[in-house]
Amino acid sequence: MSQFLQQITCEFDENYSVLIEDDGRVAYAYLLEYGDVIGDVWLYNQDAAPGDSNWVNQQTPYLNPAEYLAPHANIAPVKKESEIRCEWTESPNDSLIEAAIWIRDKFIAQVVSGSKPGWSTLVVKDGPLALVY
């Protein structure tokens, strides 16, 4: 299992960034403001998805259980920085920062200020790790 860590700074406001962290089991994206986590979203499992959602039986960070995953949720882990990109948006009404996360040119997830969790295209059911996009 491969591990990966990358921080991507917002192009129009350097106080915001997204930290992509894959510990070799599971990958998450964390939206940071001044280095503090203000949003997060599950990106993918490397280990097999648990058959049930009993969080007591898992170690952190949590794998997303099979019942939440879309059939196409099995994506290869990120190995190079060039495989990840973020598209940044600032909402004109409330100045919320939004980050869309792309892996190998495929839109995977979105995280917004205050979203814990954010949204994923790889889930079919809202859960504590990701909401349906």
Within 13 Å, how many C-alpha atoms sit on residue 65's CB side? 14
Q: Please state the rounded mean pLDDT for residues 81-103.
A: 90
Q: How confident is the model at residue 84 (pLDDT cuts 50, 70, 90)?
A: very high
Q: Tell me: the pLDDT tens digits for 35-75?
A: 999 999 999 999 999 998 888 888 899 999 999 999 999 99
User: What would you report as the CA-atom Rg of the chain, rounded to the nearest whole angstrom?
Assistant: 14
- Using alpha carbons only, give the angle 63, 69, 70 rounded to the nearest 5 degrees: 150
Beta carbons within 10 angstroms of residue 91's beta carbon = 11
Q: Has residue 108 got a pLDDT over 80?
A: yes
pTM: 0.95
Strand arrangement, sheet containing 36-45: 4-9, 16-22, 26-33, 36-45
**Is residue 21 over pLDDT 80?**
yes
Q: How far apart are CA 56 and CA 34, in angstroms?
A: 32
Helix (H, G, I), strand (E, B), or coil: what is residue 38? strand
